[in-house]
Amino acid sequence: MSTICGGLFTSHVPGIGKAIAQNLQQDPYWKPFFDGFAPVHQWLAQEQPDVAVVFYNDHGLNFFLDAMPTFAIGAAAQYRHEDEGWGIAFQRPFEGAPNLSWHIIEQVVAAEFDPVSCQSMMVDHAVAVPFELCWPGSDAFPTRLVPIAINTVQHPLPSPKRCWDLGRAVGRAIASWGGDEKVVVMGTGGLSHQLEGERAGHINVDYDKFCLRNLAPDPQALLQHDTLDIVELAGSQGVEILNWIAARGALNGSGTGSVKELASNYHVPISNTAAATVLLQHSDRVNA
């Protein structure tokens, strides 16, 4: 049976991608953020996951304001990264896991969700930047991709509870998959930031630390705020915490015990954003 080996949560700011492309990892501005990936690299080398199921938000690459699905799941054999104008020319291929994708789609539909099924799909910086952070320097990524896009752009947005429940359904689907893949779930985006309007540059350290403090032991604490509350607290782009909530729900839904934090890093600012990286694993897998 397939297993979820852990969960990885990280920011996907395009500026991080430009820093990677320009080899600025040791620059004083960027170093505190990139240093947070040392334990992630060690953990990935140890676990060697076969598939990453990534909860993220599309930034107008596949979907725009005239047609924005609440949830969309990729079921392609391969995904191409297309730069949306940020100058991030990452060309490594993203190999898909279509059989697992279809199983997840079938199971979440049976759980009364209605995702858009995408047999052809591109990915933007919300997937490309985390992959480059996790697996730097190789010719091809060692881990295949199942992308799950959540609408964090066009209102009405899904509620935190709805995203949590979607994640739990995805976790149950992975646990019921008959293959032998080892799966890492990822939530990308955030933390608090706003890129436009009178509150451009808004960062809420207190809210960010509330999320980081509760993500492992009490993730349902993050459900106490509705989506508009989160926009007010974390900024219009800070609502990307919905991706983290869904990924954390997937760890819960896989049903293999309590969750332990293995590593956490928080740094302000990264390109007007509160940037964070968190690594979680089920307690019964720690030191296994």
Residue 12 falls in the annotated catalytic set: yes
Which residue among the candidates 59, 81, 103, 225 is catalytic per the annotation?
59
Q: How many CB atoms lie within 10 A of CB 62?
A: 21
Token pair 């725009």 is found at 64
**Catalytic residue selected from 12, 225, 267, 282:** 12
- CA 243 – CA 17 distance, rounded (Å): 19
**Active-site residue (options: 125, 132, 202, 240):** 240
- Of the residues 81, 103, 125, 193, only one is catalytic, namely 193
Please say if 81 is a catalytic residue: no
Instruction: Tell me the residue length of the chain.
Output: 288
Is residue 52 within 8 Å of residue 97, measured between CB atoms? no
Among this protein's residues, is 59 annotated catalytic? yes
| Catalytic residue ranges | 12, 59, 193, 240
